[in-house]
A and B are shown apart, each in its own frame.
Chain A
Amino acid sequence: MGNMNFLDKASLDLLMPMNMILDPDGRILHAGPTLRKLRPEEDFIGQNVLDVFELRDDGRQHEDSVLPLNKKLYVSFKSGLPTQLKGVATPIVQKKYLLLNLSFGISVVDAVRDYSLTLGDFAPTELAIEMLYLVEAKSAVLEETKQLNRRLQGAKVVAEEQAFTDTLTGLKNRRALDHILDQMVQREVPFALMQLDLDYFKAVNDTLGHAAGDAVLQNVAKILAAETRDDDIVARVGGDEFILIMHKQIDPKILLKIARRIIVQLEVPVPFNGTVCQISGSVGITTTANYDIVDFEQMMQDADTALYASKHEGRARANFYDPEMVPTDTIEPAAVASR
């Protein structure tokens, strides 16, 4: 080191706080202050650099030298935390020594935490501080973005839940129906409740796929809209279940006529991708005239009972609710089989 007349150790340690001076065999003669801070218990002096570090040479040849020279290299500590360091080694003082200058590279964020490093541990020219600054700033912005995303996502879910429209068909949904029926019952408006279940729809879905199923549902929506008046309400309340509210219409004859007309329309085959989808429908009807006190839950149940009867008459039928009918939920499987 005596021949190194242009740089003393203090200047070297200031400019490169993670330097090592090695003899040609790799014996460590000197180690900079930040390197020493990483391994306070360990005395580097006298050890071989390859005993301290695991060298990853990335395919660079260095037969005639203990380290690859004048090229980027990576080393990591053999003992303790395997912090990875980036560096370059170059011969100095007429090739009598090797100067190995190291830095943290990608591991800087972890290293600052793991070794409690401070500003003074970095060379004044080193970009590590700017890097830490950027990482912190970016993390703060990223966190804000994530929170914003979560808020927006939450708002979207709420908006969808509050929506009154079935997005596939454009008809009212169950939520909207409950809301409107509540109001109609309160205002004592007479109406008919018609429950429609599609028949053979599952077969279309299963054999021709969801896209065909969707096309059928959209067509059903079109038929129902055409067969009802502006004051009536058409809602899709399940996969293939619809409810029609006929405003101020309680005449059984007319209602059955409407129901049959709908069924006829439903049975018109729907072309899809070179083939046709064939479905039908079953209907159950009840009206507010059947009740002293109108309870729409009860009306739904009764319409369902009437619908069930239609299904068991061989589908494609419409039935009016009759108190003689057996409610759906009390029918035993055995009783169904014997019908």
Chain B
Amino acid sequence: MHGMINRAIQCFLRDTYGPDVWADVAKKADFGFDNFEAMLSYPDRMTVKLLTTSARRLSKPLESLLEDIGTYLVSHPNVEAIRRLLRFGGDDYKEFMFSLNQIEGRCRLALPDLEVPKLELVENRDGTHTLTCQHKMAGFGYAMVGIMRAMADDYGALVLLEHQGRRGTGVEIINIHLLEESFATGRSFDLTAKAG
């Protein structure tokens, strides 16, 4: 798995629970090092080990841990760049949701070897939406739920998100009910990042 993903999990643990918890997880997982580099590639089993060790250390189900990681990626100031890149998706939440169809291509432009999940969003007849998330490593869908929820806050939208579990190998389904586009005041977003 790309170092960027392992690094994100490391930063999540460090920023949310403190450096001691991260040090503890790194030791328990027995990687032989205590720092993932974003620009290196690591065997997939290390990512699995990292996640299971973290879940055990925090006494949390793996699914909630993944969802928390997703929320962190959008809402923590240390990883503001990710929120900004996602906000490029559209002016409102609905447009953002449909921009997920483009995200694989956009990521490929930025980091060709980053294995992001294949995302497909469709509108259902009843006005709700369904997001299909496909990745060789099951569980990405839970992180997506966290991301979608935090992005709703970011846009000020009110949504109901429901992970429908996995269908077949690595395919996860998320149901999205957009109840209100402008429920609250979202966070501001300028196309250009402020200097400094």
**Interface size counted on chain B using CB atoms at 8 A:** 19
Chain A positions within 8 Å of B28 at CB level: 210
In the complex the two chains form, what is the Cα distance from A146 to B40 in whole Å?
7
Taking A106-B105, A135-B109, A142-B111 as contacts, is the C-beta distance between A58 and B123 under 8 angstroms? yes
**Interface size counted on chain A using CB atoms at 8 A:** 20
CB pair A58 B101 closer than 8 Å = yes
Chain A positions within 8 Å of B30 at CB level: 210
In the complex the two chains form, what is the Cα distance from A194 to B170 in whole Å?
56
CB pair B37 A149 closer than 8 Å = yes
In the complex the two chains form, what is the Cα distance from A84 to B120 in whole Å?
14
Which residue of chain B is the closest to A214 with respect to CB atoms?
B27
CB pair B110 A138 closer than 8 Å = yes
Q: Is B94 an interface residue (CB 8 A)?
A: yes
Q: Is A328 an interface residue (CB 8 A)?
A: no
In the complex the two chains form, what is the Cα distance from A14 to B28 in whole Å?
63
Interface of A is mostly: helix
In the complex the two chains form, what is the Cα distance from A142 to B2 in whole Å?
14
Interface residues of B in 60-105 (CB under 8 A from A): 94, 98, 101-102, 105
Q: Is A150 an interface residue (CB 8 A)?
A: yes
CB pair B123 A59 closer than 8 Å = yes
Chain B positions within 8 Å of A300 at CB level: none
Q: Is B39 an interface residue (CB 8 A)?
A: yes
Interface residues of B in 20-38 (CB under 8 A from A): 24, 27-28, 30, 37
CB pair A149 B39 closer than 8 Å = yes
Chain B positions within 8 Å of A106 at CB level: 102, 105-106, 109
CB distance from B1 to the nearest CB of A (A): 15
CB pair A56 B102 closer than 8 Å = no
Residue among B37, B105, B106, B109 having the largest count of chain A Cβ atoms under 10 Å: B109
CB pair B109 A109 closer than 8 Å = yes
Q: Is A290 an interface residue (CB 8 A)?
A: no
In the complex the two chains form, what is the Cα distance from A59 to B102 in whole Å?
15
CB contact between B39 and one of A74, A138, A139, A146 (< 8 Å): that residue? A146
Chain A positions within 8 Å of B94 at CB level: 59
CB distance from B129 to the nearest CB of A (A): 8
CB pair B39 A145 closer than 8 Å = yes
Interface residue ranges, A against B (CB under 8 Å): 56, 58-59, 74, 84, 105-107, 109, 135, 138-139, 142, 145-146, 149-150, 153, 210-211
Give 8 CB contacts A-B under 8 Å.
A56-B101, A59-B129, A105-B102, A106-B109, A107-B105, A138-B110, A149-B39, A210-B27
9 A-B pairs with the lowest CB-CB distances in the bound complex, closest first: A59-B123, A106-B105, A58-B98, A149-B39, A145-B39, A149-B40, A106-B102, A146-B39, A106-B106
